[in-house]
Structure 1
Amino acid sequence: MNSRPRLAGLLLASLLYSAVAAAQAPAQAPQPPDLQWQPLFQQVQRTHLFKDQKTFADAVPHQDPDALLAEWTRAQVQPGYALPAFVADHFTVPAEGTPFVPPAGETLRAHIEGLWPVLTRSTETVDPRGSLLPLPKPYVVPGGRFREVYYWDSYFTLLGLASSGRWQQVRDMVDNFAWQLDQYGRIPNGNRSYYLSRSQPPFFSLMVDLLATHEGDEAYRRYLPQLRTEHAFWMRGAEGLTPGAASERVVRMNDGSLLNRYWDARAVPRTESWTDDLATAATVPDRAPSQVYRDLRAGAESGWDFSSRWLMHPAELGSIHTTEIVPVDLNSLLFHLEVTLARASRVSGERAEARDFQRQAEQRKRAINTLLWDERQGWYADRDMERGTPRPALTAAALFPLWLQVADSTQARRTADAVQAQLVRAGGLLTTTENTGQQWDAPNGWAPLQWVAVDGLQRYRQDALARQIGVRFLRTVQTVYDREGKLVEKYVVDGSAGGGGGGEYPLQDGFGWSNGVTLALLDRLCAEGKRCESAGDVGE
C-alpha cells in the first residue's frame, strides 16, 4: 500500500488544524497605561494629580504612546511647563457623572428598575489609545468610579435583570463574557487593559445556569466551548505538578489532589492603585516588593480587596499572602464549573467528556470536604498552604459550599450554627468578624454575600436563618434608600444601617450588584403570589 496519499492527508489535516487553532487563539493583549506611557504615568501618579489613581488609568491620550512621550520630553524643558496643564491638554480625563436623583416617592423596586438604563453602556468601538476594551453588546456597569463591566459583580447584576424580565440584557452580557473568553482566553477582572493580567471569581458557569432557566439546555450547548476555555484558564499548569507545588492558579496539595488559588500574571503595583501599592510594599522591608505586589493583585482577583482573609496580621495590609492561601469560595465555584461542564457536555452528546468533568468535580468535592473543612470548629475555611492548616477565622466565604452544594447535611447545619453565632447582625450578614479598616471586613456586609447566604442556607432547609439574614439586609438597604435616595456598593450591618466604609476609595453609589441582589431578595422572600415593592412588603 502506498502511504504517501495517507501522509499527505495527515499533513493537510495537521495544517488545517493549525490554521483553525491559530484563528481561535486568544488575541494579543493590549498593554496597560503603566507600560505604554510609563515615565509619564509614574510621574502623574507620584504627584497625586488626581484624588483617585484610577482616574488617570482611565484617561485617554490624544496621541500614540511614542508621540505622547516625545511631546512630554520636549514640553518639560519649555518655559512655563506644568504637569497639570500638560495632562489637561493631552488627555481626555473621565469626569464624574451627574448623580441620579429618583422621582419623589418612588418605591425601592421602581428605583432599581429605573436605574438599569442609567447604568447601561455600549462600547462596540473604543479609542485604542485608552485602557477601555471594547465589548460587542451593551452591558451594565456597577456605577460611580466603576465605569466598566466587572466579572463577578455581573452575576449578581444579572439576577436583578432577570427579576426585571430583561432577558435580552442577560443574554447580551453572557455573550460579552463568552466573547472575552474567545478573545483573551479568560474573563478579565474588568474590560480595561490593566485588568487583563487577572480574572475574578469564576461565575461564568452560574451565568449560563441562570440563562438556562429561561432558554433551557440550548444555553449549555451554546456556551460549552467557552466553559471549556474558562476551565483551561484556571487549570493551566496542572500537568506535572508534584505534591506541595503550585503553578499560577493551580495547587497540587500534599495528598495529590488539585485545588486552586488566586494569582496575577504581573508582579508590579496595580495600575489603578499604583502609589498605594508602592506605599504598602514599603511597610514590609523584609519582603520582596514583587511578592507584595503579586499578593495585592491576587487579592484583587479574589474580589475581596482587601480583607483579613489574606493577611497574616489582620491590621497590616503589607502582611498579605493571598497566593499562599487556598480559598474555599474559589474552589466551590470551580466545582460548579466542572459540574456545569459535565452537564453541558452531556446535552451536547459528548459523553466521554461529561464523564471526565464529572470525575474532576467529584475529586474536587472530596478535596474541599477534606482539606477546607475544619472539623474541630465546624465550618469551611481557607487553607494556609505554608502551614498546612485551615485559616482560623470564620468568614462569609464559608457559605459557598452550601450555595454550590458541596456540603453534606451535617456540615451545612454546623456551618449555619457558626454563622448564626458569629456573623449575623441586626442589618444582615457580616463579611468577617475582624474590624481592620479593610472594606471586606466588619462592620461591612456586601450584597453578593447576602445572596450566597440566603440561597445557600435555603438549599439545606435552614430557612429561618436564611430569611433572617435576607430580611435584615433588605431593611438596611431600604433605610439607606429612604434617607439618601440611593443604593450603595456596601453597607454597615452592625445595626447602624448606613453605607459601608474602609478600603482604598470612597463609598460608591449605583450600585450594580446591590440593585440585583435587592430585587432577587424581594422576589425570594415575598409571599407567594405577591409582588414586593419595598422591604416593608416582605414582612418578618
Structure 2
Amino acid sequence: MGTQPPHCTSSRTQREQQAALAARPDALSPADRYQELFVAVQSGGVFDDSKTFVDCVPLSDPAAILEAYRQAHHRPNFDLTGFVHAHFRATRPPKSEYESVPGQPLCTHIDALWPVLTRHPSTHPANASILPLPRPYVVPGGRFGELYYWDSYFTMLGLAESGRTDLLADMVCNFAYLIDTYGHVPNGTRSYYLGRSQPPLFVLMLELAEQHGAAQAADHRSQLQQEYAWWMAGAHELSDANERPRAQASRRVVRLPGGALLNRYWDDRDTPREESWLEDVATARACQREPQEVYRNLRAAAESGWDFSSRWLSQIAAPAPAPEAPAQQPQRAASARSLTAICTTEILPVDLNAFLYKLETTLARLCQDAGDAAAASEYAAQAEARRQALLALCWDAGQGAFFDYDWRKGARRSCLTAASLTPLFVGLAEPDQAAAMAATVRARLLAPGGLATTECGSDQQWDRPNGWAPLQWMGIRGLQNYGHAELARDIAHRWLSTVAEVYQAEGKLVEKYALRELHADASHGGGGGEYPLQDGFGWTNGVTRALLAEHLDHAAHSACAHTAPD
C-alpha cells in the first residue's frame, strides 16, 4: 500500500495550497484559442481522430502560433500538416501502455495496472488543453489520458480493493479542487470539457473513501453544496406552476406541471464538440434542424456519459422480443438510428435524478450533523419531492420498470435501459417496485455476458449488444439492496466470465464488451461508437477488481493471460 497523504480538507488554506501546486489554467478551449486554425485542422483531416489536435501541446505561445498561421496559410503550396507538426506536439497514447505477463492472474494484472494508469501534476504541460490537478490521479487509458468524472468512481472501487487508499484520497482531493476552481466537476480535465459535467458521483466517491478511511464526507459538505447548486442553477427563474401550468426549462432544471423540479443533461455551449468536431458537423449537415440545436443535444448526451445511445433519440420505440426469440438477441432496427434524431435535452433521465436524490439525502444528513437544521430540512424536502416525482412519472407498473420521461411531450419514454436500476442503487424505489424490476431484468435485460445496456440493439455503443462495467455494478448493487441476491450474483458471474474470457485470449481489459455467449466465434470486445475499442481500462479494472473480491469462488480468479495484447 502507498503512503497515506494528509486528508484533503475544505479549509481555504488547504485550497490555496492546492491551487499553488496547479495554477489555474486559461479556460480558453482550443476552438477559442486557435479559431480559424482550429477549423482548418479539424476539417482538413490532419489527424485521424478529432481528439488528437485538441490534446496537442503547443511548442510556443498559442497567440504567436495563430498569428504565424494567419501570415502563412494564404501562401502558395502552404502545407497545413507540416505547419501543425512544426508547432504542436501530439500526445497520442501508445498502442499498448502495458504488456501483460503470460500466466499472470487477472487480479494481479489489475493491481499492476494502477501505476501504469496514474498521472502526476508534473506531467501537465503549459498552454495545453489539460486542466492541471494538484494530486496524482488515475485515467481510463487509451485515448483517454485525462481524469474523467463518473469513470473515476468505478475506478476507485478497484483502488479500494487493491489497498490503494493513497490514490483514493488523492482522487477525492482532485475532485474537491475541481469544484473549488470551476464551480463544478467538468466532464474531463480538458478545457474543452468545461461546458458540461457528468453524472454527479462525487457524493458516492466520498462515501467510498470514508468507508476506507481515506476521507471524511463532512469535510467536503461545502463542495457537495456547490455542486448541487450548479446542477440546480436556473430553478429560481422558473415561474410557479400556478402561474404557468406548462413545463418550463432553464439549463439543467425543468419545472413540471404541479411544481416538481427534475433535471436533465445540458451543455453551456451549442457548438460542435471540439474533440469530435468533424463528426458533429457531419451530423448537423445531415438533417434539417438548426445546427445549434443538434450540437447542444450531442453535448448533453456526452454529459450523460452515454454517448451515444438510442436512449437519446426521438422515435425509438422498439417492440419487445417475440416469445420465441431469446431476450438476449432482440431484432435490430432496419436501419441505424441516426444521431440526427438526438433529443437529449427533452429527456428527464431516471439515473441523473436518482443520483441527485442521493446527493440531496446526503446533504440533508451532513447538514443535520453540522447543526444546520434549516438546510437539512430543505434538502430533505427537495429529495422527497424528487422521489415522488420520479415514482409518479418514471415508474411503469404495467412493465415493471423505470423509464426516462419526455418533459416536452409529457410522457414516459419507451426504451428500457439498465438505467432503470439506478433507483434501486440509490434506495429510492419501493420494495414491490424492486421486485417487479428484478423480474423485468431477468426477462428483458439479462444477456449471456451480464446486464444489457438497452433492450434494443443499434450501432451506437451504449446499446445492445454492448455491456459496460458501471452498469453492471449499479445493477448488481441495486438488486442486492432489495434482497435479490440470486439475480445479482448471476449478473456478476456472467460479467466476470466475459471479462476473464477476453483477458485469457488477449491479455487485457477493455472499455466495453459484447455480451454474447462465451466461446462464440465473434469477439467479445464491444463495437460501435465514434472511436476504436480502447484498452486499459479504468472502470472495467475497478468494477472487476471489486467483484472478484466478493466472488472468491468464481473461475475468473484462475484466468491467466496467455498472450500479450497485439
Contact 1:220 1:343 in 2 (8 A): no
**Equivalent residue in structure 2 for 1:296, among 295, 298, 304:** 298
What is aligned with 2:331? none
Paired residues for 1:199-278 under 5 Å: 199-215=197-213, 219-242=216-239, 243=241, 244-278=247-281
What is aligned with 2:487? 465
**Equivalent residue in structure 2 for 1:504, among 513, 519, 530:** 530
By how many angstroms is 1:430 displaced? 0.8
What is aligned with 2:310? 308
Contact 1:208 1:219 in 2 (8 A): yes
What CA distance in whole angstroms lies between the structure 1 residues aligned with 2:448 and 2:505? 18
**Amino acid across the alignment from 2:286:** T
Aligned with 1:127: secondary structure? Answer: coil
By how many angstroms is 1:349 displaced? 2.6
Residues 428-458 of structure 1: CA deviation (Å, up to 9, x unaligned): 1110022210000010000000001111101
What is aligned with 1:401? 423
Residues 247-296 of structure 1: CA deviation (Å, up to 9, x unaligned): 000010112101100000000000000010011011111x1110000000
By how many angstroms is 1:344 displaced? 1.7
Contact 1:267 1:291 in 2 (8 A): yes
* Structure with more contact order per residue of length (Cα contacts < 8 Å, sep ≥ 6): 2
Contact 1:432 1:440 in 2 (8 A): yes
Contact 1:237 1:247 in 2 (8 A): yes
By how many angstroms is 1:75 displaced? 2.3
What CA distance in whole angstroms lies between the structure 1 residues aligned with 2:123 and 2:361? 36
Aligned with 1:215: secondary structure? Answer: coil
What CA distance in whole angstroms lies between the structure 1 residues aligned with 2:131 and 2:338? 34
What is aligned with 2:52? 55
By how many angstroms is 1:195 displaced? 0.2
**Equivalent residue in structure 2 for 1:162, among 160, 163, 167:** 160
What CA distance in whole angstroms lies between the structure 2 residues aligned with 1:236 and 1:77? 45
By how many angstroms is 1:532 displaced? 7.7
What is aligned with 2:557? 533
What CA distance in whole angstroms lies between the structure 2 residues aligned with 1:183 and 1:518? 32
By how many angstroms is 1:80 displaced? 4.4
Contact 2:516 2:524 in 1 (8 A): no
The alignment status of 1:427 with 2:425, answered yes or no, reads no
**Equivalent residue in structure 1 for 2:82, among 85, 105, 112:** 85
By how many angstroms is 1:363 displaced? 1.3
Unaligned runs of 5+ in 2: 1-15, 242-246, 317-336, 561-566
Q: Which moved more, 1:99-108 or 1:266-275?
A: 99-108
What is aligned with 2:369? 347
**Amino acid across the alignment from 2:94:** G
Contact 1:124 1:136 in 2 (8 A): no
How big is the alpha-carbon RMSD for the aligned residues of Structure 1 and Structure 2?
2.0
**Amino acid across the alignment from 1:512:** G
What is aligned with 1:46? 43
What CA distance in whole angstroms lies between the structure 2 residues aligned with 1:248 and 1:240? 10
What is aligned with 1:437? 459
Distance 1:219 1:424, change over 3 A: same
**Amino acid across the alignment from 2:542:** G
What CA distance in whole angstroms lies between the structure 1 residues aligned with 2:122 and 2:425? 35
**Amino acid across the alignment from 1:477:** V
What CA distance in whole angstroms lies between the structure 1 residues aligned with 2:162 and 2:363? 28
What CA distance in whole angstroms lies between the structure 1 residues aligned with 2:371 and 2:43? 56
**Amino acid across the alignment from 2:359:** L
What CA distance in whole angstroms lies between the structure 2 residues aligned with 1:366 and 1:28? 42
**Equivalent residue in structure 1 for 2:383, among 356, 361, 370:** 361
By how many angstroms is 1:531 displaced? 12
By how many angstroms is 1:60 displaced? 1.5
Q: Which moved more, 1:69-78 or 1:352-361?
A: 69-78
Contact 2:497 2:556 in 1 (8 A): no
Distance 1:29 1:300, change over 3 A: farther
Aligned with 2:462: secondary structure? Answer: coil
The alignment status of 1:332 with 2:334, answered yes or no, reads no
Aligned with 2:173: secondary structure? Answer: helix
What CA distance in whole angstroms lies between the structure 2 residues aligned with 1:387 and 1:81? 52
Aligned length: 509
What CA distance in whole angstroms lies between the structure 2 residues aligned with 1:114 and 1:65? 38
Aligned with 1:500: secondary structure? Answer: coil
**Amino acid across the alignment from 2:402:** Y
Residues 115-159 of structure 1: CA deviation (Å, up to 9, x unaligned): 000000012573342100100000000000000010000000000
What CA distance in whole angstroms lies between the structure 1 residues aligned with 2:452 and 2:429? 21
Contact 2:93 2:145 in 1 (8 A): no
By how many angstroms is 1:465 displaced? 0.8
**Amino acid across the alignment from 1:196:** L
What is aligned with 1:67? 64
By how many angstroms is 1:356 displaced? 1.7
What CA distance in whole angstroms lies between the structure 1 residues aligned with 2:291 and 2:126? 31
By how many angstroms is 1:41 displaced? 0.8
By how many angstroms is 1:366 displaced? 1.0
What CA distance in whole angstroms lies between the structure 1 residues aligned with 2:24 and 2:124? 16
Paired residues for 1:476-495 under 5 Å: 476-495=498-517
By how many angstroms is 1:362 displaced? 1.2
What CA distance in whole angstroms lies between the structure 2 residues aligned with 1:101 and 1:532? 19
By how many angstroms is 1:246 displaced? 0.6
Aligned with 1:507: secondary structure? Answer: coil
Contact 1:523 1:531 in 2 (8 A): no
**Amino acid across the alignment from 1:335:** Y
Aligned with 1:251: secondary structure? Answer: strand
Q: Which moved more, 1:333-342 or 1:366-375?
A: 366-375
**Amino acid across the alignment from 1:268:** T
What is aligned with 1:147? 145
Distance 1:308 1:454, change over 3 A: same
What CA distance in whole angstroms lies between the structure 2 residues aligned with 1:79 and 1:318? 38
Unaligned runs of 5+ in 1: 1-19
What CA distance in whole angstroms lies between the structure 1 residues aligned with 2:444 and 2:498? 19
TM-score by length of structure 2 reads 0.87
Contact 1:306 1:439 in 2 (8 A): yes
Aligned with 1:506: secondary structure? Answer: coil
**Amino acid across the alignment from 2:424:** L
Contact 1:475 1:535 in 2 (8 A): no
Distance 1:350 1:512, change over 3 A: same
What CA distance in whole angstroms lies between the structure 2 residues aligned with 1:319 and 1:376? 28
Q: Which moved more, 1:89-98 or 1:342-351?
A: 342-351
What CA distance in whole angstroms lies between the structure 1 residues aligned with 2:405 and 2:381? 23
What CA distance in whole angstroms lies between the structure 2 residues aligned with 1:125 and 1:185? 24
What CA distance in whole angstroms lies between the structure 2 residues aligned with 1:103 and 1:288? 52
What CA distance in whole angstroms lies between the structure 2 residues aligned with 1:127 and 1:106? 35
What is aligned with 1:517? 543
**Amino acid across the alignment from 1:411:** Q
**Amino acid across the alignment from 2:158:** G
By how many angstroms is 1:96 displaced? 2.8
**Amino acid across the alignment from 1:305:** D
TM-score by length of structure 1 reads 0.91
By how many angstroms is 1:45 displaced? 0.8
Contact 1:61 1:130 in 2 (8 A): yes
What CA distance in whole angstroms lies between the structure 2 residues aligned with 1:208 and 1:340? 10
